[in-house]
Amino acid sequence: MQTVSDWTTIIDSHSVLIMTIATVIIAIFTALGFFVQRSRKNVASSEEEIEAVVREILTKHQESELPQAEGLAGGHLGEDLEAKDQEIAELIRVVEALRDPDAPDRERRAKAEAALVHGDTQLADALFAELEHSAASKAAAAAREDLAQRRQAAAAARHRGAIAFLHDTHGALVHYRRAVEYDPEDAIGWNQIGSLKYRLGELAEAQAAYERVRTIGHATGDREAVAAALGNFGNIAQTRGELNKAEEYHRQSLAIAEELGQKSIMASTLGNLGIIAQIRGDLDEAEGYYRQSLAIHEELGRKEGMANQLGNLGNIAQIRGDLDQAEEYYRRSLAIAEELGQKSIMASILGNLGLIAQTRGALDDAEKYHRQSLAIEKELGRKEGMASVLGNLGNVAQIRGALDDAEKYHRQSLAIAEELGQKSIMANQLGNLGIIAKTRGELVDAEKYHRKALAIHEELGSKEGMANQLGNLGILAKTRGDLDEAE
């Protein structure tokens, strides 16, 4: 899921038009090392070989799913960033299961893997469906609770979820829900449900799933899983605009990760603390967090994380008005995202390149970038990303003077943000609706919108947002001839 901060430019009316920069990622915590190690079996293949196969599966899938993005960073195709650690970890388990030396039907499993690599999921899904049904039937027929069979059924259902996630988020959820029905203590299944629900904007259900992960972590003494759950609680609070609560969760997660030496979670948490600082307008602090996160990702060789933080450093440069530096960071980030096949990062970066084009006055290019970004966000079902891009398309229409189109986009964005409880985007769109009302001469309505936006920015502690709306209220007062209030 993405979060946003304000980016401003002055339009002809001298009102402050609010655009939403897509912060490249709120890192979704997976406790990847723990979850993969716990499930790893004695397979014949090396970890490097299996991961290479997984990358090939993702690459083949992206080629069949995403249309070419024209004129960008070498023109590679992309896959979903939220496939990063979680999807890779889940697909690693799928390939390991297919290569299990103790399993029967070796030839059938090899054919299923080969089909997966070529983009065909049917053989693998059918194989795991049979395994799930067999294990579930044995568990149901047993005179006593057969936990081993239930866990086998849960694992098969999770494998089906990982395969379905390549093309169907809702279908993947069905499989993961079955997995936790078989085994209610399946932390991996609950973590995946939380991630998918978060991606779909269903925050209450995501929180409940992550709470199960934390509970299981406490019960088993697994502090890494607890750290991951705390980080994800922080993400949800962050999306809701509860920045103090989000910061508290992230700091708790960071403390555990530092104690355990879990650098992957440390890097993710530092990046998320940077996002909070950015929303608050503390750009130097945000940059510091992003650079710390980037350094750890570089040390670990985690290209996805490097792409995230390069994009976030681009955001800082863009907010400061250094468009050339911002574009350099964005294109470096985009090149990595395309290399790895990460759709979510591509959507964010395309949108931010659209903002740069918009600021430079290249509105046709800006609209093209925003529409490419929106197409990916819709494909992924990422409501928060859709809200950001719709607002930016509204800004393009607004600058062109197409106020009816602009209002439509801003209201669509506002409706999604209200559904998600995404206060930062709500404030942005209320401010933009205020500018439209002022342009139409509807000063009373304009003031109402700006005051609502100001109240939200004050609640969030967003210094730049507060300054923007105070400036817009001052312009309204000046328009009315109330010079004392304008000052």
Residue-wise pLDDT tens digits, 122-170:
999 999 999 999 999 998 888 677 889 999 999 999 999 999 988 788 8
Kind of pairing between the strands at 4-10 and 16-22:
antiparallel
Cβ-contact 476, 446 below 8 angstroms: yes
Given pLDDT bands bounded at 50, 70 and 90, which one contains residue 359? very high
**Of residues 312, 351, 318, the one with CA closest to residue 332:** 312
Given a cut of 80, whether residue 454 has pLDDT beyond it is yes
Given pLDDT bands bounded at 50, 70 and 90, which one contains residue 101? confident
Give residue for tokens 């506002």. Answer: 414
**Region of poorest pLDDT, from 102-111, 130-139, 216-225, 319-328:** 102-111
What is the chain's length?
487
**Of residues 147, 219, 132, 144, the one with CA closest to residue 177:** 132
Annotate 375-415 with DSSP letters as a single string.
HHHHHHT-HHHHHHHHHHHHHHHHHHT-HHHHHHHHHHHHH
- CA 330, 335, 336, 342 dihedral sign is positive
Tell me whether residue 132 is exposed, middle or buried, using C-beta atoms within 10 angstroms of its C-beta: 0 to 12, 13 to 18, 19 or more: buried
Given a cut of 70, whether residue 432 has pLDDT beyond it is yes
Give the C-alpha separation, 151 to 179, whole Å: 8
Cβ-contact 228, 29 below 8 angstroms: yes
**pLDDT for 413:** 96
| Angle between helices 32-39 and 85-98 in degrees, nearest 10 | 10
Give the C-alpha separation, 294 to 267, whole Å: 7
Give the C-alpha separation, 60 to 64, whole Å: 7
Give the C-alpha separation, 443 to 439, whole Å: 9
**pLDDT for 75:** 25
Give residue for tokens 């609680």. Answer: 233
Given a cut of 90, whether residue 451 has pLDDT beyond it is yes
pLDDT tens, position by position, 163-193: 998 878 889 999 999 999 999 999 989 999 9
> In 10 A of CB 396, how many CB atoms?
24
Given a cut of 50, whether residue 5 has pLDDT beyond it is no
Stretch 318-323: mean pLDDT, rounded?
94
Stretch 418-424: mean pLDDT, rounded?
90
Q: Which helix (H) or strand (E) holds 109?
A: helix 106-117
**pLDDT for 20:** 57
Tokens encoding 181: 């029905």
| Most confident by average pLDDT, 107-121, 136-150, 241-255 | 241-255
Stretch 91-105: mean pLDDT, rounded?
87
Give the C-alpha separation, 16 to 12, whole Å: 10
Q: Across all residues in the chain, what is the average pLDDT?
A: 84
Tell me the one-letter amino acid at 268.
S
**pLDDT for 373:** 94
**pLDDT for 60:** 66
Given a cut of 70, whether residue 326 has pLDDT beyond it is yes
Give the C-alpha separation, 40 to 92, whole Å: 9
Give the chain's domains with CATH numbers.
4-486 (1.25.40.10)
Percent of the chain with pLDDT over 90: 57
**pLDDT for 73:** 24
Give the C-alpha separation, 408 to 390, whole Å: 9
Tell me whether residue 299 is exposed, middle or buried, using C-beta atoms within 10 angstroms of its C-beta: 0 to 12, 13 to 18, 19 or more: exposed
pLDDT tens, position by position, 28-83: 454 434 444 444 444 445 777 887 888 788 766 654 443 322 222 222 222 233 33
Stretch 421-438: mean pLDDT, rounded?
93
**pLDDT for 41:** 47
Stretch 115-124: mean pLDDT, rounded?
89
Name the region of 132 (left: φ>0; alpha: ψ -120 to 50; beta: rest). alpha
Stretch 353-373: mean pLDDT, rounded?
95
Given a cut of 50, whether residue 281 has pLDDT beyond it is yes
φ, ψ dihedrals at 26, nearest 5°: -90, 115
Cβ-contact 206, 236 below 8 angstroms: yes
Tokens encoding 223: 């502090």
Stretch 1-7: mean pLDDT, rounded?
30
Stretch 240-245: mean pLDDT, rounded?
90
Name the region of 140 (left: φ>0; alpha: ψ -120 to 50; beta: rest). alpha
Give the C-alpha separation, 55 to 277, whole Å: 34
**pLDDT for 9:** 25
Q: What's the start-to-end Cα distance of the chain, in Å?
A: 39
